[in-house]
Amino acid sequence: MTEPWSPSLRELDRRRVRRQQRARSILISSLAILLVFAGLTGLLVSSPGWDRFRETFFDWHHAQESFPSIRDGFWLNVKLFLLCEVAILVLGLAVALARTARSPLLAPFRLLAVLYVDVFRGVPTVLLILLLGFGVPALNLQGLTDDRYFWAGVALVLSYGAYVAEVYRAGIESIHPSQVASAEALALSRAQTLRFVVVPQAVRRVAPPLLNDFISLQKDTALVSVVAVFDAVFAARDYTGYTFNYTPYVVVSVFFIAITIPLARFTDWLGRRALQRERAGVR
Amino acid sequence: MTPLLEITDVRKTYGDRVVLDDVTLSVQPHDVVCLIGSSGSGKSTLLRCLNLLEDIDDGVIRFEGYEITDPRVDPREVRQRMGMVFQAYNLFPHLSVLDNCTLAPRRVHGLSRAAAEDRARELLTTFGLAEHMTKHPDRLSGGQQQRVALVRALCTQPQLLLLDEITAALDPELTGEVLAIVRDLAERGTTMVLATHEMSFAREVATTVCFLSEGRILEQGPPAEIFTAPREERTRQFLRRVLPQ
């Protein structure tokens, strides 16, 4: 072996310049951030109704007072979200597979899937929750629960299931036909092709939009308050009804943001990791 | 005459792996430099470093007399005067052939639409692509796509053309089609650096052939010398494997 490599003077100089450039861009971005945010804050604080606004929406006393009941209510939102998410993933994939099925025997399911997606994507989620939350208990059916919380959850699953099915389907259809061809050339059946080749790639590809839908679902659990389920929003509305102070709404927003932001960052990270793995070195 | 391109002691690493090691090479105007060597010998990396798609880890690259590896140099200024063609064509599938060829002249070089299209039409016609101008790239054969990619690079009138194994994805017939164009360009005095596996082409067209092995230029010289009387044993081994006996 020859002697180990050490950077030339020119390279050392180049590294120094690169460091300077990095330092400079960090400085510029910090200044820009500071300036923009200071400007925005100034604009807000100097608005004519600011004092009144602060009393109604940012009152520390009311925030503390309403906190426990909102926290308890929010636990309901979180539970609902977690349970619905699992159900939606399963339902969405099942519907997407039914829509892409080609076997003549499965034709009725294909039709059902199309109808389901068309109808449930078209109806506003809040109406679905009202219809199921108040409607099903009113039927007085034997053996069915009349728990409004449960039926509001079913409404969320049905509504989001339709969206998620379409996301899955877009993923399945985006897989290049050559993948199917090479799976079939290995004598895999159509079901096996889907199970082992197409769906795994499709799911990976649609993970970011799926997670996007779940961030949206997290927020929409707030809609269950319309059927008088005591969730975080209902608790906040209850409190404002007595005090005429809107601070609890801000508290609820902070609760939602506190879990959506980490999920959003997690989504970004997942997407970046997938890109790095699949496109390592390709540019 | 000052060289158009002057590469001195260039080093490039990916982590612990040294991909280019002390590469030194000089390219005069109207030269055609062929980089040969097995896959992974650093040919493509060298071309990407020349176009500043990769930062080098040591050494100097000078282009038209200026050091372009200085971090203060705007890489886009350099790339405006260099053309590059990739092995996988890398045409933009959402644009027609003509739009592929006029994108950079219009958006980067500030040509009017009419001027850019005139120039593109002329070049496309010269290279036998007149009937495909309004089509989208995926409708064309591999050879046609690669010719479009060449025209796209030429439309910006580069001083130097970098070709990265542009025939590696083509069958022998289409390869001939594309190489005919490169030969034509060489005869017209276009300065080119190309990585290639086409030994007979390199022998015929190159002014200089460089044999790369494990990131080093083991040997360089006129094709007659490299192909008939190589000095290095490694070069001989490589040529024995790739040249038909």
Contact B22, B9 (CB under 8 A): yes
Q: Show residues of chain A in contact with B61, CB under 8 Å.
A: none
The pair of structure tokens assigned to B224 is 């007659």
Q: Which of B18, B58, B72 sits opposite A8 (nearest CB)?
A: B58
Indicate if the pLDDT at residue A279 is higher than 80: no
Q: Show residues of chain B in contact with A18, CB under 8 Å.
A: 71
Q: What are phi and psi of B61, to 5 degrees?
A: -120, 125
Q: Which of B9, B58, B71 sits opposite A18 (nearest CB)?
A: B71
Indicate if the pLDDT at residue A277 is higher than 90: no
Indicate if the pLDDT at residue A163 is higher than 90: yes
Give the confidence band of B245 by pLDDT, cuts at 50, 70, 90. low
What integer is the mean pLDDT of A221-227? 88
Give the confidence band of A135 by pLDDT, cuts at 50, 70, 90. confident
How close B9 comes to chain A (CA, Å)?
10
What integer is the mean pLDDT of A56-85? 90
How many CB atoms lie under 10 A from the CB of residue B187?
Answer: 10
- Please report the pLDDT score of residue A282 as a whole number: 55
DSSP string, A89-116: HHHHHHHHHHHH---GGGHHHHHHHHHH
Q: Does A11 touch chain B (CB under 8 A)?
A: yes
Q: Is the pTM of this model over 0.80?
A: no
- Residue type at A203 in one-letter notation: V
Closest CA to B64 of B160, B201, B208: B160
What integer is the mean pLDDT of B208-230? 93
- Tens digits of residue pLDDT in B15-48: 889 999 999 999 999 999 999 999 889 999 999 9
Contact A254, A245 (CB under 8 A): no
- Please report the pLDDT score of residue A37 as a whole number: 95
Q: Show residues of chain B in contact with A282, CB under 8 Å.
A: none
Indicate if the pLDDT at residue B115 is higher than 90: yes
- Tens digits of residue pLDDT in A185-220: 888 888 889 999 999 999 888 888 888 898 899 889
Q: Show residues of chain A in contact with B69, CB under 8 Å.
A: 14
Indicate if the pLDDT at residue B81 is higher than 80: yes
Indicate if the pLDDT at residue A278 is higher than 80: no
ipTM confidence: 0.73
What integer is the mean pLDDT of B171-197? 91
Q: What are the start-end ranges of the H helices in chain A?
A: 9-45, 50-57, 60-100, 107-122, 125-139, 148-174, 177-185, 190-192, 199-220, 232-243, 247-278
Q: Does A17 touch chain B (CB under 8 A)?
A: yes
Chain A to chain B Cβ contacts (< 8 Å) = 24
**Domains of chain A, earliest start first:** 59-273 (1.10.3720.10)
Q: Does A22 touch chain B (CB under 8 A)?
A: no
Q: What DSSP designation does A196 have?
A: I
Most confident of A204-213, A256-265, A272-281, B189-198: B189-198
CB contact under 8 A, B70 and A21: no
How close B108 comes to chain A (CA, Å)?
21
**Lateral strand order in the sheet of B208-213:** B82-85, B160-164, B192-195, B32-36, B208-213, B216-221
Give the confidence band of A276 by pLDDT, cuts at 50, 70, 90. confident
SS3 B17: strand
- Please report the pLDDT score of residue A204 as a whole number: 85
Using CB atoms within 10 A of its CB, is residue B151 exposed (0-12), middle (13-18) or buried (19+)?
Answer: buried
Angle at B47 between CA B45 and CA B51, to 5 degrees: 115
Q: Does B75 touch chain A (CB under 8 A)?
A: no
CA dist B162 and B160 (Å) reads 7
Mean pLDDT of chain B: 92
Q: Show residues of chain A in contact with B53, CB under 8 Å.
A: 283
Q: What DSSP designation does A283 have?
A: -
Contact B60, B231 (CB under 8 A): no
Determine the residue of chain B that is closest to A22 in CA distance.
Answer: B71
- Please report the pLDDT score of residue A25 as a whole number: 95
- Please report the pLDDT score of residue A3 as a whole number: 66
Within its chain, how far is the Cα of B225 from the centroid? 22
Using CB atoms within 10 A of its CB, is residue B219 exposed (0-12), middle (13-18) or buried (19+)?
Answer: buried
CA dist A160 and A125 (Å) reads 9
- Please report the pLDDT score of residue A177 as a whole number: 85
Indicate if the pLDDT at residue B222 is higher than 90: yes
- Tens digits of residue pLDDT in B42-76: 999 999 999 999 999 999 999 999 999 999 999 98
Indicate if the pLDDT at residue A128 is higher than 60: yes
What integer is the mean pLDDT of B189-208? 92
Q: Which of B53, B59, B71 sits opposite A17 (nearest CB)?
A: B71
Q: Which of A8, A14, A283 sits opposite B53 (nearest CB)?
A: A283
What integer is the mean pLDDT of B198-213? 92
Indicate if the pLDDT at residue A280 is higher than 80: no
Within its chain, how far is the Cα of B71 from the centroid? 23
